[in-house]
Amino acid sequence: MSLSSSQTVPSPTGMPLSSSVSPKVVIGMIGLGTVGSGVFKIFRDQPEIFFQKIAVKDASKTRTIDDLDLDLLSQDPHAVVSDPETQVIVELMGGAELAKDLVVAAIQNGKHVVTANKELIAKHGPELFELARQHNVRILFEGAVAGGIPIIMPLKLSLGANRIEEIAGILNGTTNYILTKMTQEGWSFEQALQEAQAKGFAEADPTNDVEGFDVGYKISVLSLIAFKQVVDPLAIHREGITHITAEDIENARELGYVIKLIGLAKMTDDGRLDIRVHPMLIPNHHPLSNVQNEFNAIFVKGDAVGDVMFYGRGAGEMPTASAVAADILAIATGLLKGNEPIPSMIIDPAIPAKLQPVGETVNKYYLRLNTKDKPKVIGHLGNACGDAGVSLESVMQKGINPDGTASIVLLTQAVREDQMNQALSAIREQESTSDIGCLLRVL
């Protein structure tokens, strides 16, 4: 950045610097793990971005950064957020409670905050945004939802003229990798999970991913921006993918669908928020159906723009670091020019969401079950559905299982979930029903 001899820029302490001093924005970072290392690598040769201190749990840990100056490292994150010269705190430690305390302290000390912490924003975002508003600082969090995919700023700015009607996203690379391998290779869930763990796409304990908690945090954050609705992520209806079998994957293929774990949020006509996390059958013609392996995608429907989709790598060192670094640059640009950083990214106050009960949602359904191999079974299933007001779109008998039962697949028309549950209860009670295998919704 070039400066004329008459120009001055704010110093980290607020005093003007003469033009003979190279202007810098002073960064304090909390966490130097996978993403933090990527952010450091991006900026280490950029003179405008100066790392003052980086808080870590273990300063002696071997890291992937060449020639790292160990004097940069501190094991006291509170000292980092209270440093008087630091202008921007980059929080990359994860977790919610300690991270919240540190971010609050940073804001109260007049520092801007960049974070990739989805749990923090999902649980405490509105409170932190209000505190930031009071102290006239910014919180940017582009990396919190979809790694390297830009979605927060596009929702806030690029699509700001729209009333967002629906968001449907593949928001977790681990589960998408598992379901892709089950689809392409015919693997079981357990086989695909082991492969994901071996390649580093899944944690040793994959519960947060495969049971949908991760997606719950992310769709909660997206709803906060798109609908200005505050959603407790633990109140979101959530189902994981552990019950999906290779048989379900093949059945979906025959019906013209693929199975994906989806975070879904949309406004109802009466102003309630329909927000859920669960696997869904995606039609082959839908853009989300072709999102493979560890990639993520967010499908957005606006009243003016229509359908748009954001696609890319949803996690990993450099993709997420790219989003975090862009947020840092957005703040730094304002600071270096002596301007207020991106006032358009002040997050608007939000209201508590009125959630639509999942029983009132309307979906098409896929049902796989096993029945005794005897006459009139299909008729009995049709009667149970008809009595509950559930119309069937198709019925497939998949053959006889080794135990002598018949495998049957039903695909329904769109119906309220409580009606589907009524039909399911009646089917479960029929003498010919052996077991209910899998019930999935259709996008």
Give the residue numbers marked as catalytic. Answer: 218
Q: What angle do CA 164, 230, 360 make, to 5 degrees?
A: 70
CA atoms within 13 A on the CB side of 229: 24
Distance in angstroms (rounded) separating the CA atoms of residues 65 and 27: 18
Residue with tokens 């990396």: 143
Distance CA 400, CA 394 (A): 19
Q: CB of 86 within 8 A of CB of 53?
A: yes
How far lies 367's CA from each of 222, 322, 374, in Å?
30, 42, 19
CB-based contact 201:316 (threshold 8 Å): no
Q: What share of the chain is helix, strand, coil (3-state, %, to 5)?
A: 40, 25, 35
CA distance 278 to 284: 18
- CB burial string 251-288: b at 16+ within 10 A, e below: bbeebebbbbbbbbbbbeeeebbbbbbbbbbbeeebeb
Q: Furthest-apart CA pair in the chain: how many Å?
A: 93
Q: Can you read off the two tokens belonging to residue 355?
A: 């959630």
Round to whole Å and give the CA distance between 228 and 307.
20
Q: Which element (helix H / strand E) includes 326?
A: helix 317-337
Q: What angle do CA 144, 150, 341 make, to 5 degrees?
A: 80
DSSP 102-164: HHHHHHHTT-EEEE--HHHHHHHHHHHHHHHHHTT--EE-THHHHTTS--HHIIIIITTTS-E
Q: Which bin fits 312, alpha (ψ -120 to 50), beta or left (φ > 0)?
A: left
- CA distance readout (Å), 433 to 252, 429, 436, 440: 22, 7, 8, 18
Distance from chain centroid for Cα 9: 38
Tokens 């909660």 label which residue?
A: 220
Q: How many other C-beta atoms are found inside a 10 Å radius of the C-beta of residue 300?
A: 23
How far from the centroid of its chain's Cα atoms is residue 318's Cα? 17
